[in-house]
Amino acid sequence: MQDVVVIAPACTIFLPAAIYSRTERHMPTRSKTANSNGGGIRSSARRAMLIATSRGEELEQLRSALAGQWRIMSCIDSGELLSMSLASPCFAVLVDVDFLRDVASQDSGAQAGGAEAGLHLLWKRVPGAHVVILAGAGDMREVVATVKKGADNYLTYPIHPDEVRYVLESLEAAHRMEGELSYLRDSFWGEDVKRLTRTESPAMREVLTKAKAAAPTSALILLTGESGTGKSSLAKLIHAHSMRKDKPFVAVHCGAIPDTLVESELFGHEKGAFTGAVRRKLGKFEIAHGGTLFLDEVGTLSMAAQVKLLQVLQEKTFHRVGGETDILTDARVIAAANQDLKAMVREGRFREDLYYRLNVFPLDIPPLRERKMDIPLLVASFLERLGSEYGKQLHGVTPETLEALARYDWPGNVRELENLVERAFILEDSHMLTLDSFPVEFHPAHACYAEQAQRSVGAEMTLAEVREQARDAVEKQYLQDVLAMHGGRINKTAAHAGITPRQLHKLMARHGLDKKQYKNASGGQGIIDPQAP
């Protein structure tokens, strides 16, 4: 990224390369109050501008030319600059470089004089305003240095209204882009972490409270919990609420990287470092510089990889494979594991020193079976997302469905629940999410059905075959009883089962059932099993 100089009539406009990214200038963060317009300036102040210069003739010329587009405020005395800017928030401040120097010299708390010190004092009064410096040709060295420290732009005397319009339009465009990026970033994180933040579980609330406290720090965080509990989402949530949220979030699944490539993946390599290294590659630590590096399933790393990771965490430096230059890293590390790292340390499969280095701020996410009160909230969240994604709306969940979901132990945790809800959402053809759209093991089963299925189980069968047979037996027996109860009448049978006639026809075809066999049946008597000899 390079700085751009645009030559306009009667003045030179300096457009800093980092105009769209204030953080690249290493300037202090200027807080902005978010609003629906997507920016940080309050809507009442978006079209206000303060022009601070002692050149009265040019001030009046600008006021006359821009009055139709902007609410112009003016200041001709440097002593009034800070009080005026504080009293009237504005989108932009066009300020003479001499005013900034005067403000700095009059402030006893300023550690150094000059335009840069004045700029920092101005920011304290109007943290959301864009600052454009006005100066003569003889002040260019100091002005350019001040722009590099964070001022948005500068204009040289004599100033033409068209030049001011050009600069202000550029600032507005950058402001809109910043707001749009912020909106997209917040929307992206919001959908991903909604399943974490919607909770009534005291244990989960405690985890979120601790995560909120740790987020603005640089402390290493170790997330533990079973697979599917939301460790990755929590890591993203922590990053989104950290001081690094505008920098990269880089996720690495350690278990998916072959041992021979771990070092290259994490630290990069130089061209020719090994066979197949045809070009330089940046490692994840380098890509995540200034941001957050999420090391998922850190317990799967080999002992050799653990040694290298420990070295980077302790020394904050590394070098690429095949390279000799030490590279400084400023990536905040969040590690996650679904294994018991303490037990692995006792068994000699995980380094004790690395464990204690990672375990600075531990967070253990409870499994879904310990927070079943959250299932209705989670299902509602998933239905909201799926409705938007698939263009199909369901108006809630039947009580029987929620009861069945609460009975299940959820070995796959929130991820399993989300996947099953999506499957059921696709299959559902009524206005609510019903139990019929879920696998048969969620359906209420009478003890006699289970016993009947159990008697037909052979020891030579696999577990999957046993499950399949049990499901089919329970489902078929249930349909036979209900069909017999209603004399084979499809609509009444479907209503009794809580499904649609169409779904009933599908299930009957699957189990080889014919409604004619139940026309003379009553109260479950006289059922004819077509499979019986």
User: 440: closest CA among 420, 459, 412?
Assistant: 420
The answer to whether 250 touches 267, Cβ cutoff 8 Å, is: no
- Give me the residues paired with residue 52 across strands: 75, 95
Question: What 3-state DSSP class applies to 123?
Answer: helix
First to last CA, the chain: 82
* Per-residue pLDDT at 195: 59
* Per-residue pLDDT at 130: 87
Query: Residue 17: pLDDT band by 50, 70, 90 thresholds?
Result: very low
The answer to whether 422 touches 384, Cβ cutoff 8 Å, is: no
Residue type, 52: A
* Per-residue pLDDT at 129: 80
Residue where the block lists tokens 């771990």: 262
pLDDT digits (tens, 9 = 90+) for 55-101: 888 888 888 888 778 888 888 887 777 777 565 667 888 989 888 88
Question: What 3-state DSSP class applies to 525?
Answer: strand
**Of the ranges 12-26, 246-260, 401-415, 519-533, which one carries the lowest mean pLDDT score?**
12-26
The answer to whether 44 touches 166, Cβ cutoff 8 Å, is: no
> Highest mean pLDDT range out of 17-26, 224-233, 516-525?
224-233
Residue where the block lists tokens 């460790």: 231
Tell me what the mean pLDDT of segment 108-124 comes to. Answer: 73
* Per-residue pLDDT at 533: 34
pLDDT digits (tens, 9 = 90+) for 187-202: 554 555 555 677 888 9
User: 91: closest CA among 56, 130, 118?
Assistant: 130
* Per-residue pLDDT at 186: 53
The answer to whether residue 525 scores a pLDDT higher than 60 is no
* Per-residue pLDDT at 109: 55
User: 90: closest CA among 54, 41, 132?
Assistant: 41
Q: What is the DSSP string of 26-85?
A: TPPP------TTSSSS-GGGTTEEEEE-S-HHHHHHHHHHHTTTSEEEEE--GGGHHHHH
Question: What 3-state DSSP class applies to 215?
Answer: coil
- Mean pLDDT over each residue of the chain, to the nearest integer: 78
Query: Residue 333: pLDDT band by 50, 70, 90 thresholds?
Result: very high
Of residues 9 and 3, more confidently modeled: 3
* Per-residue pLDDT at 239: 92
Residue where the block lists tokens 């799967």: 300
* Per-residue pLDDT at 486: 84
Q: CA 329 to CA 503: how far, in whole Å?
A: 58
User: 168: closest CA among 49, 36, 27?
Assistant: 49
Tell me what the mean pLDDT of segment 222-229 comes to. Answer: 93
Tell me what the mean pLDDT of segment 425-435 comes to. Answer: 89
Question: What 3-state DSSP class applies to 502?
Answer: helix
> Mutual orientation of helices 202-214 and 161-197 as an angle, nearest 10°?
150
**Of the ranges 48-62, 220-234, 401-415, which one carries the lowest mean pLDDT score?**
48-62
Report CA-CA distances (Å) from 458 to 30, 112, 454, 468: 71, 87, 9, 13
* Per-residue pLDDT at 348: 94
In percent, the amount of the chain with pLDDT more than 70 equals: 79
Tell me what the mean pLDDT of segment 221-237 comes to. Answer: 92
**Of the ranges 370-384, 421-435, 438-452, which one carries the lowest mean pLDDT score?**
438-452
Max alpha carbon distance in the chain (Å)? 109
